[in-house]
Amino acid sequence: MNKNMRTAYGETLVELGKTNKRIVVLDADLCKSTMGILFESAYPDRFFEMGIAEADMASVAAGLSLTGKIPFFASFAVFVPGRCYDQIRTNICIPALNVKICGSSAGLSDFGDGSTHQSIDDIALMRVLPNMQVFSPVDAAETSQIVEYMAANEGPMYIRVNRNDVPILTPPEQDFVPGKVYTKREGSDVAIFATGIMVSIALEAADDLAKDGLQAKVLNVPTIKPIDEASVLSICEEVKAIVTVEEHSIYGGLGDAISAIVAPKLARRHVRVGMQDVFGTSAHSYPDLLEHYGFTPKAIKRAAEEALA
């Protein structure tokens, strides 16, 4: 079954808003896309349409948090954090305010609008900021869990969500634990750490690797910062090589986060699957774009074979 993360984001905020009157939502002229419109319809007095003014939106959210509100603000991930990085850094992260940020249509998922609307650097921008937690859910179910966590806990937090419907991989009985790395498939040869939609593609790659006698352990990493370092090290001790897969630049994201944990302590070959220091482009469909940039089972399989060579 497939479901949309953006819808899960909006629906979860509406549900939380029933009992938590402190929650307010801000949007930058894109509420029909981010699904902030669902909150606006339910609670119009707690929704703020800021127009195409992302920097102002971030600053207003900071001010609202100082009054005791729990502001969630959203736009396309290329615009938030891109157009308001200074305000996030100075007004939200330095004072560690209780502000929640959603980067919608993340990665290449806005396939039709090209490089100006595709965020290949948002994880890097948010991960480097002190006090900021960074989340990249695998599916709509995990998106809901993370939004619930964001609303219930203090401090600056960023979640990136895909524009398109994606497979549901989160079991109903699984709880979200920040920092936890979730095993989606066992294997002893190579560990494939993936985040977002790349987890489902990594699972397909693992099936293909198994046909050649190679066993891949597939991990879902929904929390880019912080990560359970002890767990990552334990996983990597049990395999011969590492692959990281992210719909983001190979610089500054999941690959760097895993490398920073493992490289000082273990000698493991590490191959990164991601945007290879290039911008995105327009395409007729999302699968076309994923194919073009190597976000496919075949490419991940090839990366695993290279890591094991």
Q: Cβ neighbours of residue 285 under 8 Å, at least 6 residues apart?
A: 111
**Phi/psi zone of residue 185: left (φ > 0), alpha (ψ -120 to 50 degrees), beta?**
beta
Distances (CA, A) of 103 to 26, 27, 46, 147, 307: 13, 11, 20, 12, 32
Structure tokens at 91: 């007004």
Q: Considering 40, 54, 142, 246, which one is annotated as catalytic?
A: 54
Q: Is 291 a catalytic residue?
A: no
Structural contact between residues 8 and 141, judged by C-beta atoms closer than 8 angstroms:
yes
Cα–Cα dist 179/134, whole Å: 10
Cite the active site residues: 54
